[in-house]
Amino acid sequence: MQDITELTVLSRVTVQLPDDLKLATEDFQEGWNFVRSGDVHWMDKKVRKSGWHFIWIAEPSQRGGVGQTAQVAIAGALKLALRRVNPEFNAVNIDRIEITQYPWFFIAKVRVYPYQIQQDTVLQIPGRPTPCPITGLVEPIPAAETMVATAVRSRLPAVYSN
């Protein structure tokens, strides 16, 4: 296993990708693969070039791990952080790694941000409301013809009425 560093991308084993996007991956743990083809910026460019979307989710997962080496501590923290990622999201980016070294062990903190690689522009998560697109233009209603305008006008003194 290569060193785990910031900006590394991991994808779920089950991720669906564009046909023209081929990734070099390496097994990690519990259904996740390291994307060895490039970092998060490379992945974003390639996914978008294929006409798909690489959607960043602003719900990070941060966990800590302990190990006899820095990489073992990072791998342990990463494994715990990945367990907290919503199963609907199919990729993560390692955003931050903090290492503290002690005489006989290391403690690592790893923060990951989930991503969704998909063809649609709208993020759809089962169990959450989905926005409905507006299909036609809506014509504005003149303020003088609304019930609110009529109610306000009836409460105003005659000085302010037309």
pLDDT in tens, 52-85: 998 888 889 999 999 999 999 999 999 999 999 9
pLDDT reported for residue 30 = 85
Query: Could you tell me the two tokens for 20?
Result: 């023209």
Higher pLDDT, 7 or 105: 105
Mean pLDDT of 128-148: 58
Mean pLDDT of 99-125: 90
Share of the chain residues as helix, strand and coil, in percent rounded to the nearest 5:
20, 30, 50
CB under 8 Å to 104, separation ≥6 — which residues?
Answer: 68
Mean pLDDT of 1-29: 86
Mean pLDDT of 80-91: 91
pLDDT reported for residue 101 = 95
The verdict on pTM exceeding 0.95 is no
Dist. CA 12–CA 89, nearest whole Å: 8
pLDDT reading at 132 higher than 60:
no
Asked which of 84-88, 126-130, 132-136, 141-145 is least confident by mean pLDDT, the reply is 132-136
pLDDT in tens, 21-56: 888 888 888 899 998 888 889 889 989 998 999 888
Please name every residue paired with 26 in a beta bridge, in sequence order, or none if there are none.
Answer: 34
pLDDT reported for residue 14 = 84
